Structure 1
Amino acid sequence: MLQAERRNNIIQELHIDGTVHIEQLASKFKVSAMTIRRDLAALEKEGQLVRSHGGAVLPESMAQEVPYQTKLSSFKEEKEQIAKKAVELVPENSRILLDSGTTNLEIAKLLKSRRDLVIVTNDAKISMELLHSESTVISTGGELQKDIGAFIGTHVQEMLRNIKVDVVFLGANAVDLTDGISTPSMEKAYIKKLMVRSARAKWVIADHSKFNKQAFAHVCTFDEVNGIITDDQIDDQTRQQLEKETNVY
């Protein structure tokens, strides 16, 4: 098969499935993975796709960072449902790490009446929500991400390298059944990786709108976490496929 024909076929497959994977393409076209990587790089330069961890997606399917105020009003009932499930997984006298985001804000609202916890967060809104909590609350501090409300930067990274917690609730911008969890920026991905390393129990929290999407920077695969907590609006097929990979609540 000629190079141009192969690349046209890649684009056709991408428009059918929404995502393509290097190893599958290499097997299908009987070429090396390096050849497919070159094809994807060339097609990305033409603006026809965006390369992701292990493959590529259509540009419009890439999850982007959403301003805090927009997220606050999106899928509120679903996030409350997720929060109720999540707090059931918080043991007494435990150390909890709440990633930034509005779903974790709902978890914070349910935890703030407890007196037995140490709660660490890199989210300004969550810190304020816990202002009058009887539990110990620790904010990572750092550079405040404008319009998002998350703390980022080396200060956050250094703190996360030096703590150990019992449970982390990890926010997810995008969840892909093949590639796992991803987020729009390399820096946010690195912070989330450090969160995963710091915790004994690792739970991803994601409402149904986050599934079958990819973002720019890879965070982790399903075998690196204990499971995913989601809402009951996730479609049956996605749930069944996800349950083959990890625990789903």
Structure 2
Amino acid sequence: MLVAERQRKIVDLVNERLSIRVSELSKIFSVTEETIRRDLEKLEKDGLLERSHGGAVSIEKEDNEVSYVEREITRAAEKRAIALEAVKMVEPGDQIVLDASTTAWYMAKELPDMPLTVLTNSIKVALELSKKEQIRVISTGGNLMSISLSYVGPLAERSLKMYHVNKMFFSCKAIHPDGGLSDTNELQALLKKDMIQIADKVILMADSSKFGKRAFSQINSLSAVHCIITDSNMDDRTRERLEEKEVKLLFVDI
């Protein structure tokens, strides 16, 4: 197992259990306790967890936005696979909007250099696309959220209203069959709601861990989404409930 993958899984375990001991992590990953301590030191320095005596504790708070550093290593394989599937839906000449999610950033990395207009509130997405000469990039501007390197707020919302796109690609924190789409950050949720309103077709990119949950800020109902791209680890009950809602599902294998 690669170091980055092990560290990603350590973050997942700590956030799932809220706390975990070095000795237990050592057994789970079949490495020495000293290796685990180095991992925890690195992850604490990156702001992804907090070390405690003999282990680590979660710093995840449901009402705060997760840093882009943590999002880059959390379920990275699933996000990359989902992004690759989403890229297949983009055609030359499209006008699309990408949110500030990590999956949108992976999508920006994988987009071929072709005639395309991309509207985004993400600095990371804009920088990635700046390497591709044929892609026209428009930033919303707005108030900078340093934790996610994205723009939000009234200026970003007004900027979106100036445009119309034929496709929107985005992610969110939680998807519930009854509660719809929601996010932990109110400003991001408001901006995603506005993005949905300017798009002809809305594609949600979300790994299977996000389903069956609700977050603080409502974005929209499931009826606003034309297609969901997710990984094949979704449980059967969730799949059945989404299909009852007549949501189109595309699954990628990990």
2-structure distance, mates of 1:248, 1:211: 13
Quote the Cα distance in structure 1 between the aligned partners of 2:131 and 2:64. 33
**2: CA distance between counterparts of 1:64 and 1:220?**
19
Partner residue, 2:127: 128
Cα distance between partner residues in 1 of 2:154 and 2:179: 27
Shift of 1:64: 4.7
Q: Which amino acid aligns with 2:66?
A: V
Aligned-partner residue type, residue 69 of structure 1: V
CA distance in 2, matches of 1:203, 1:107: 12
User: Which amino acid in the other structure matches residue 234 of structure 2?
Assistant: I
- Aligned-pair CA distance for 1:77: 0.8
| Secondary structure in structure 2 of the residue aligned to 1:234 | coil
Compute the displacement of 1:147 (Å): 1.3
SS at match of 1:190: helix
The answer to whether residue 114 in structure 2 is matched with residue 115 in structure 1 is yes
Matches within 5 A, 1:1-249: 64-111=64-111, 113-134=112-133, 135-245=135-245, 246-249=247-250
Unaligned runs of 5+ in 1: 1-59
Distance in 1 between residues matched to 2:61 and 2:149, nearest whole Å: 24
| Cα RMSD, aligned residues only | 1.7
* Count, aligned residues: 189
Deviation at 1:177, TM superposition (A): 1.4
Deviations 1:132-180 (A, max 9, x none): 1121111112211021112111111111111000100122111111111
Deviation, 1:187, is 2.1
Is the CA contact (8 Å cut-off) linking 2:141 and 2:159 kept in structure 1? no
When normalised by structure 1's length, the TM-score is 0.72
State the SS of the aligned residue for 2:106. Answer: helix
- Please list the CA deviations of residues 93-142 of structure 1 after superposition, one character each: whole Å capped at 9, or x if unmatched: 1001001111101110111x322110111011111111211211111122
TM-score scaled to structure 2, two decimals?
A: 0.71
Which one is further off, 136-145 or 96-105? 136-145
Q: Which has the greater radius of gyration?
A: 1
Question: Residues 61 and 143 of structure 1: is their aligned pair in 2 closer, same or farther, counting only changes over 3 Å?
Answer: closer
Deviations, residues 5-34 of structure 1 (Å, cap 9, x unaligned): xxxxxxxxxxxxxxxxxxxxxxxxxxxxxx
Q: Counterparts of 2:132 and 2:155 in 1: how far apart (Å)?
A: 24
Query: Secondary structure at the residue paired with 2:92?
Result: coil
What is the percentage of aligned positions where both structures have the same residue? 34
Change (3 A) 1:232 1:123: same
Unaligned runs of 5+ in 2: 1-59
**Alignment partners' CA distance in 2, 1:80 and 1:71:** 12
